[in-house]
Amino acid sequence: MEKRYNPFSLDNRTVLVTGASSGIGRTTAIECSRMGARVIITGRDQARLDSVSQELEGEGHLSLTADLTQEDQLNQLIEQLPVVDGVVLCAGQGTVVPFKMADRKKLDPIFEINYFAPVELLRLLLKKKKLAPAASVVFVSSIGGVDSITIGNSIYGASKAALNSAMRFCALELSPKKIRVNSVCPGMVNTRLIQGGAVSEEQHQADMLKYPLKRYGEPEDIAHGIIYLLSNASSWVTGHSLVIDGGYTI
Ligand SMILES: NC(=O)c1ccc[n+]([C@@H]2O[C@H](COP(=O)([O-])OP(=O)(O)OC[C@H]3O[C@@H](n4cnc5c(N)ncnc54)[C@H](OP(=O)(O)O)[C@@H]3O)[C@@H](O)[C@H]2O)c1
């Protein structure tokens, strides 16, 4: 059967997704496979990765465990990778800490995974020539990294703001190679990251009403923005932070 026109297709692309064992990364990996990509999923938890592998459509996918904050595991991951056409740097962690308590003990681990790990991973991909010409890189940042300033989020927001800044420098430096670098900045999304914390379900329900579209995001809402940035549909887009937040930051 003849293929239908689809500028968002990821046919014949190999896409690496970090944080693919849960939440936004998990759904992004599955949706990328449904759009035709061969997907390489990575996370720390082998069992969770195995369950994602079972949901990937198509053939030739790869699952690799690694803690991205551990230099030896990061290097090993890079060695095992083929050349990739797309990279989604989604692994990250949240924290809510009043600024007075935001000392280096709390700050460093969040910066390790939210900022240093994705930036170093991208640097190593380039150094080891694992990025295909005209590859697309997508950092998963947050509205906390652009203009949503909320109480208790100074560490998390600063780590994501740093990521957005690095993204723009990389976009400029890699443009001669036609490699595009962008970020997505989600508002609150229903994943493990926002569940089970200090915030009750009633508080979440009240918070949702502050969103013009009156709901939190679902992982698919973010995955589809990422697919746009990975695909040829965005071939003239680089250095951009795509806010996906149900109108929260209007
Ligand atoms: N949910 C939201 O409201 C929201 C809003 C804005 C931005 N974001 C961002 O979206 C990204 C994904 O978050 P999520 O909501 O999908 O959270 P999640 O369900 O908790 O998923 C986090 C993912 O990151 C991985 N990860 C964490 N630490 C890691 C490490 N040291 N090494 C390797 N992998 C590690 C986890 O792997 P394991 O399962 O193996 O631990 C998991 O796959 C994060 O960068 C987050 O900051 C989320």
The pLDDT score that the predictor gives to residue 70 is 98
**Does this model's pTM top 0.85?**
yes
Ligand 1 centre distance from Cα of residue 43 (Å):
9
The reply to whether ligand 1 has any atom less than 6 angstroms from the CB of 63 is: no
The rounded radius of gyration (Å) of the Cα atoms in the chain is 17
The pLDDT score that the predictor gives to residue 48 is 98
The pLDDT score that the predictor gives to residue 195 is 84
Burial per residue of 143-181, b for 16 or more beta-carbon CB atoms within 10 angstroms, e otherwise? bbbbebeeeebbbbbbbbbbbbebbbebbeebeeeebbb
The reply to whether ligand 1 has any atom less than 6 angstroms from the CB of 27 is: no
The pLDDT score that the predictor gives to residue 87 is 98
**According to CATH, what is the number of the domain 14-243?**
3.40.50.720
Which ligand 1 atom lies nearest to the CA of residue 217?
Answer: 3
Which residue ranges of the chain lie beneath pLDDT 70? 1
Ligand 1 centre distance from Cα of residue 179 (Å):
25
CA distance 195 to 199: 8
Cβ contact 227:138 at 8 Å: no
Instruction: Give 111-145 pLDDT, tens digit per residue.
Output: 999 999 999 999 999 999 999 999 999 999 999 99
The reply to whether ligand 1 has any atom less than 6 angstroms from the CB of 218 is: no
The per-residue pLDDT of the chain, averaged, comes to 96
Cβ contact 17:40 at 8 Å: yes
The pLDDT score that the predictor gives to residue 198 is 73
